[in-house]
């Protein structure tokens, strides 16, 4: 008796903003308005087959080992379901190399769908650990600041990698985010290459103190303090020149009353924070104008802190 | 008509524990069980006269400009009450060079008494700014992590110096502290000289992430997380060898279940955290045994997070 094909299970994982000022490599947040979708179904053939990739303009690798969505499923099977088989379809909603955790979103959606398809019921730390393998494939380093919020949702601090510790921080209810992805690309490898290798001790102290302030500001819901905390002496100054028009955009956004404005992840996506939808909409126009003026018009929207990866459709057997 | 002498006003300022793991140079807490007392009264002779210093075994300077208690009052008058005169008596309750913010406590008690004597009503940021001048005189650098909690009380994060920002963090109600000052001295200048000048970027990230965790742990009152956060890769490893027996004491305290154990300030005072008075008492015995075994028996006690500097006696006119 040959088995009927199992139903597809689809999961969505959100875009994420990392490098919130002093949160470099250890803090990120999920947003609502953009993300990737992955469909997974069990197959009687062992291993992982990447059946379809859409929305990437043909730019992503299609070998299962090289594409983050399928690569993390290979690892999932190896660790938790030896001998199992999965078919995968990836539907990219996020632009590549944008600083919005695009590779992480693919990995997280794949893992949540794969976990459900295999009936594993893995917890957040296990899923984030697996998703970091996807990051290693996509950009050569396994930082958790995109995949942790993409799995958990909200704002997540990752104070420790071994053992992995995920700390969900409260997100102020009145926080609105203008997100703008200029029409240029920053390779994560380039963005890593410009980072300082060493930091002066006094700068380390200030960096840490600002992250402390950021965590405090989230706990007390004080957006003005949050803005004071999102200052970055280490990473932003090294990367700003990789994004044409970034400093113009930032100065204009801050002058217009943004709570904070900085680079999301490795860039070029730039975010500005506001206390209302109206202000965020005004900031979005300011970002758009600055980047357009600098010849890198792109795409932007107003967003909010959102949920983590989840199953979006599941046909019953 | 010659004026009758004005009444003495006495203030007490507490000992403080700074360098709580990742809180180096930016976070400290006030304790209850020890501190300095300063008496101040107005005088018709302009300037500051240091009339008496007790409890220091004759080791502190008696020139008003060189003693932190009087030096900060000279600055107080210069900035806020030009032409005024004050007489000062300092009663040292804290050992010198112990890592318990001894110079800061003298400065803070003097300022709180002086502020009252002159009827100025200065706020915490102004008093902390002035107290930092005392730190500059005492140890050559004006770090605020002792004087801020000595003025404000509780646990204080100082994320910014200019303008000075003081953030009071919630202190868990069930936090008990074993404090032990071994019988040896660490000069702050020596303790500063051994610090690394530069820090690797990945260490900076971990340091900052742990301070984020520490702030979170205080907000949610989770002592186990607090213990996870009080880990210091930067300062403690550089300073441990300055204190005979410190590593023995730490290992024994952690093995005995201390939430955390580290060096207070520049040392040699060592603190261990516990969730009950009984456990803190047991930890104190362990610290005492380790330091005694290493030939530096000293003095210890069990303490709690306490209030900031305050007026303790005030004769009415």
Q: Summarize pLDDT for B234-245 with one digit per residue, the tens.
A: 999 999 999 999
Q: Which residues contact A292 (CB under 8 A, 6 or more apart)?
A: none
Q: What is the pLDDT of residues A34-79, one digit of tens each?
A: 999 999 999 999 999 999 999 999 999 999 999 999 999 999 999 9
Partners of B215 on chain A (C-beta within 8 Å) are 212, 215-216, 219
Interface touch B209/A158, C-beta < 8 Å: yes
In sequence order, the 6+-apart residues with CB closer than 8 A to the CB of A314 are A7, A9, A10, A116
Specify whether the CB–CB gap between A36 and A90 falls below 8 A. yes
> Which residues on chain B are in Cβ contact (under 8 Å) with A234?
201, 204
Please give the domain boundaries of chain B with CATH numbers for all domains: 9-169+306-314 (3.30.230.10), 176-303 (3.30.70.890)
Residue B266, CA distances (Å) to A6, B181, B193 in order: 64, 12, 11
CA dist., res. B246 & res. B266, Å (int) = 13
- DSSP annotation of B153: B
| pLDDT tens-digit map of A257-269 | 999 999 999 999 9
The dihedral formed by the CA atoms of B152, B153, B154 and B160, expressed in degrees to the nearest 10: 30
Task: Look at residue B138 and tell me whether its pLDDT is greater than 90.
Answer: no
Flag whether residue A193 sits within 8 Å of chain B, measured between CB atoms: no
Q: Which of B174, B282, B283 is nearest to B222 (CA)?
A: B174
Average pLDDT of the segment spanning B267-289: 98
* d(C-alpha B298, C-alpha B244), whole Å: 12
Residues 6+ apart with CB under 8 A from A162: none
Q: What pTM was computed for the model?
A: 0.95
Which chain B residues touch A165 with a CB distance below 8 Å?
Answer: 213, 228
Question: How near does any CA of chain A get to the CA of B242, in Å?
Answer: 20
Q: Sorting pLDDT into bands at 50, 70 and 90, what band is A314?
A: low
- Residues on chain B touching A222 (C-beta within 8 angstroms): none
Q: What is the mean pLDDT of chain B?
A: 94
In DSSP notation, A101-112 reads -HHHHHHHHHHH
User: Cα separation of B222 and B174, whole Å?
Assistant: 10
- d(C-alpha B135, C-alpha B103), whole Å: 7
Strand partners, A184: none
For residue B311, the cross-strand partners are B11
Say what the pLDDT of residue B314 is: 57
CA-to-CA distance for B64 and B73, rounded, in angstroms? Answer: 9
By the 8 A CB rule, do A200 and A227 touch? no
Residue B316 has pLDDT above 70, yes or no: no
Confidence of residue B185 (pLDDT cuts 50, 70, 90): confident
Query: What phi and psi values does residue B279 have, to the nearest 5 degrees?
Result: -65, -40
Answer whether the bond into residue A163 is a cis peptide, omega within 30°.
Answer: yes
Confidence of residue A317 (pLDDT cuts 50, 70, 90): very low
How far apart are alpha carbons A182 and A184 in whole angstroms?
Answer: 6
Please give the average per-residue pLDDT across B149-170, as a whole number. Answer: 96
Chain B contact present for A196, CB below 8 A: yes
Please give the residue of chain B at the shortest CA–CA distance from A161. Answer: B206
Separation of alpha carbons A199 and B229, rounded Å: 21
Q: What is the mean pLDDT of residues B181-198?
A: 90
Task: Give the pLDDT confidence score for residue B315 in this predicted structure.
Answer: 53
C-alpha span between B234 and B21 (Å, rounded)? 9
Residue A209 to residue B27, Cβ atoms within 8 A? yes
Q: Is the pLDDT of residue B1 over 70?
A: no
Q: Mean pLDDT, chain A, as a whole number?
A: 94
Q: Taking each helix axis as running N to C, give the angle between helix B124-139 and helix B68-80, from 0 to 180 degrees, rounded to the nearest 10.
A: 130
Per-residue pLDDT at A139: 72
Q: CA geometry: angle at B25 spanning B23 and B31, to 5°?
A: 70
Averaged pLDDT, A231-250: 94
DSSP state for residue A228 in the 8-state scheme: H
pLDDT band at A136 (very low <50, low <70, confident <90, very high): confident
């Amino acid at each position: 008796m040959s088995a009927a094909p199992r139903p597809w299970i689809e999961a969505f994982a959100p875009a994420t903003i990392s490098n919130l000022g002093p949160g470099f490599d250890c803090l990120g947040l999920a947003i609502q308005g953009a993300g990737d979708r992955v469909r997974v179904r069990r197959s009687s053939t062992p291993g992982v087959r990447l059946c379809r990739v859409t929305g990437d303009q043909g730019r992503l690798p299609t070998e299962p080992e090289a594409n983050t969505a399928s690569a993390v499923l290979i690892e999932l099977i190896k660790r938790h379901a030896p001998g199992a088989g999965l078919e995968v379809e990836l539907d990219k909603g996020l632009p590549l190399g944008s600083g919005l955790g695009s590779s992480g979103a693919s990995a997280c959606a794949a893992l949540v769908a794969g976990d459900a398809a295999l009936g594993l019921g893995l917890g957040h730390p296990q899923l984030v650990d697996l998703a970091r393998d996807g990051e290693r494939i996509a950009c050569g380093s396994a930082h958790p600041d995109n995949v942790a919020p993409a799995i958990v949702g909200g704002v997540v601090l990752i104070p420790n990698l071994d053992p992995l510790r995920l700390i969900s921080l409260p997100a102020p209810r009145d926080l609105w985010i203008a997100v703008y992805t200029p029409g240029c690309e920053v390779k994560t490898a380039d963005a890593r290459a410009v980072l300082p290798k060493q930091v002066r001790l006094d700068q380390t102290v200030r960096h840490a103190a600002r992250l402390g302030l950021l965590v405090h500001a989230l706990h007390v819901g004080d957006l003005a303090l949050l803005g004071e905390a999102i200052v970055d002496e280490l990473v932003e100054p090294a990367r700003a020149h990789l994004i044409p028009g970034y400093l113009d955009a930032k100065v204009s956004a801050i002058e217009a009353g943004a709570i904070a404005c900085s680079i999301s992840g490795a860039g070029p996506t730039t975010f500005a924070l506001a206390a209302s939808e109206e202000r965020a909409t005004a900031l979005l126009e300011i970002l758009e104008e600055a980047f357009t003026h600098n010849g890198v018009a792109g795409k932007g929207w107003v967003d909010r802190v959102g949920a983590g990866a989840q199953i979006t459709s599941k046909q019953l057997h």
